[in-house]
Amino acid sequence: MSAVVGCVTGFLTYETTKSVVVKSWSVGITNRVVQLVIITYFVGYVFLYEKAYQVSDTAIESSVITKVKGFGKLNDQVMDVADYIYPPQGAGMFCIMTRAILTDNQFQGRCAETDKKFACETDEDCAQHVGSVLSNGMMTGNCYKSSNESKGMCEIEGWCPAENDNVNVEPMDLKNFTIFIKNSIRFPLFNVTRGNFPPTMDIKNCTNNEKDPFCPIFRVEDVLKKIQRDWTQLAVKGGEIGINIEWQCNLDENIEKCVPKYSFSRLDAPFEKNKISKGYNFRYAKYFKTQNGTEYRTLHKVYAVRFDIMVTGKAGKFSLVPTVINIVAALTSIGMGTVLCDIILLNCLNGADRYKAKKFEEVIEDQTTQTVSPSPDSQLSLKPGMKSSCDSGAISLSMSD
């Protein structure tokens, strides 16, 4: 029974470090200043700025619907949204056509190239272009000449006539177009769902995000102004614009404060200095059938402004575990001032050796006697101070200890 009590008593002990308390103004001040810096860092940066007491969720789920409104004139035709938006579904990525080069009534067949670099005099001139991917169709290797002419163009097989994109088309003005953005997000960790405009908002009467920051309608001209993009160049060559929606939500506050922040960027900025491959264009075709069933098409080379809506976000909410961990980390870190203070105390101060003697107790490996039991060998093996190896004797030990 007593063995059990002894065992329990042996187990229920508490081990704490023995400390030396130094009453010195210089070290004391250093110590407190370092502790103050550490506390300030934890309270100010870790807790208030970085919100270390929160768990955060950056895996935002987002869904974007867009709707463009406005009318423009291109080639004397009035274009509406069904004409100029690609793709039509109103997703987070969409293109608004600014110019289109149309090649009407293309049928499958053989015809001459249009680009100067395919000029030829003999079939040999065209042989080198066979397999080229830069032409308007498959190179046949023949030089296609009108009757009685010595110069011609290489012949292609494919949709004829070949597209000639050296045409000057006046761009459509879309500066007054508006983009309506409907963005709903969800933070899966907290199951919080938000929309980019409040339920009470009267969408019909809000016309512009410039006037009301909650209005999810953006005029193209305002966007261009914000990214300092010149309209003329953009209209002719096309381009790319990024619309960033950023959600920074502190769920410990009122959920109504969890609102989006819009910003805009020029996605083609890195390629601005490139001589070619500027702007943005793509080709597509509308297909028709003649009365007798032959398919023909109108090829559209479309220059467009492409909008990419990118949604990023982070939500944080108080949680016990990170709070406790960080408080413990803070408390532990406060003791870290000792690293610096010990250096000062043991090296820079007057009486450093005295502090050393006080802080360090030396015990030397007992290499001669192999006694296992802790015999009261007060001689030599125990010495105060790290370097005062010349001191010896029980008295001096008990003194300085």
Contacts of 307 (CB under 8 A, 6+ apart): 66, 93, 94, 95, 96, 179, 240, 241, 242, 243
> Which residues 134-153 are close enough to bind a second copy by CB under 8 A?
134-138
Assess 21 for contact with a second copy (CB under 8 A).
Answer: yes
Residue 63, phi-psi category: left (phi > 0), alpha (psi -120 to 50), beta (remainder): beta
- Residue 2 found at the interface with a second copy (CB under 8 A): no
| Binders of a second copy in range 250-269 (CB under 8 A) | 265, 267-269
Count of CA atoms in the C-beta half-sphere (13 A) of 173: 4
Is 301 labelled as part of a ligand binding site? yes
Span near a second copy by CB under 8 A; candidates 144-152, 165-173, 228-236, 239-247: 239-247
The 8-class DSSP code of residue 382 comes to E
Instruction: List the interface residues with a second copy, window 62-81 (CB under 8 A).
Output: 63, 65, 67, 69-71, 73, 77-78, 80-81
226 binds a second copy (CB under 8 A): no
SS3 category, 148: coil
Q: Which stretch binds a second copy (CB under 8 A): 118-126, 145-153, 202-210, 225-233?
A: 202-210
341 touches 31 (CB < 8 A): yes
Task: Look up residue 185 and give its DSSP letter.
Answer: E
Distance CA 220, CA 226 (A): 10
Least spacing, CB of residue 198 vs a second copy, in Å = 9
Is 219 part of any known ligand binding site? no
Give buried/exposed letters for 256-281 (b at 16+ CB in 10 A, else e). Answer: eebbbebebebbbeeeeeeeeebbbb
Read off the amino acid at residue 5. Answer: V
Which of 2, 3, 20, 232 binds a second copy (CB under 8 A)? It is 20
Q: Shortest gap between Cβ of 338 and a second copy (angstroms)?
A: 5
Q: Which is nearer to a second copy, 151 or 269 (CB)?
A: 269
360 contacts: CB under 8 Å, gap ≥ 6: 385, 386
Closest of 323, 325, 337, 322 to residue 38, by C-alpha? 337
Closer residue to a second copy (CB): 123 or 361: 361
CB of 375 to a second copy, least distance (A): 8
- Under the binding rule (CB under 8 A), the answer on residue 30 touching a second copy is yes
**Residue 189 binding a second copy, by CB under 8 A:** no
Phi, psi of 394 (to 5 degrees): -65, -35
Site for a second copy in 83-102 (CB under 8 A): 83, 86-91, 93, 95
Per rule CB under 8 A, is residue 391 in the interface with a second copy? yes
Residue range at the interface with a second copy (CB under 8 A); choices 23-31, 120-128, 146-154, 224-232: 23-31
Give yes or no for residue 397 binding a second copy (CB under 8 A): yes
CB within 8 Å of 35: residues ≥ 6 apart = 334, 337
* Subset of residues 334 to 353 that bind a second copy, contact rule: CB under 8 A: 336, 338-339, 341-342, 345, 349-353
At its nearest, how many Å lie between a second copy and the CB of residue 286? 5
Does 380 participate in binding a second copy (rule CB under 8 A)? no
190 is in an annotated binding site: no
Please pick, from the candidates 122, 128, 164, 193, the single residue that binds a second copy as defined by CB under 8 A: 193
Supply the minimum distance, in Å, between the C-beta of residue 148 and a second copy: 29
- Answer yes or no: is 387 a known binding residue: no
> Phi-psi category of 277—alpha, beta or left, where left has phi over 0 and alpha has psi -120 to 50?
left
Cβ atoms within 10 Å, residue 124: 10
Within the chain, what is the greatest distance between any pair of CA atoms? 126
- How many other β-carbons are positioned within 10 Å of the β-carbon of residue 2? 7
Q: Residue count at the site for a second copy (CB under 8 A)?
A: 165
Per the annotation, binding residues for ATP are: 67-69, 178, 281-283, 301
Residues forming the annotated binding site? 67-69, 178, 281-283, 301
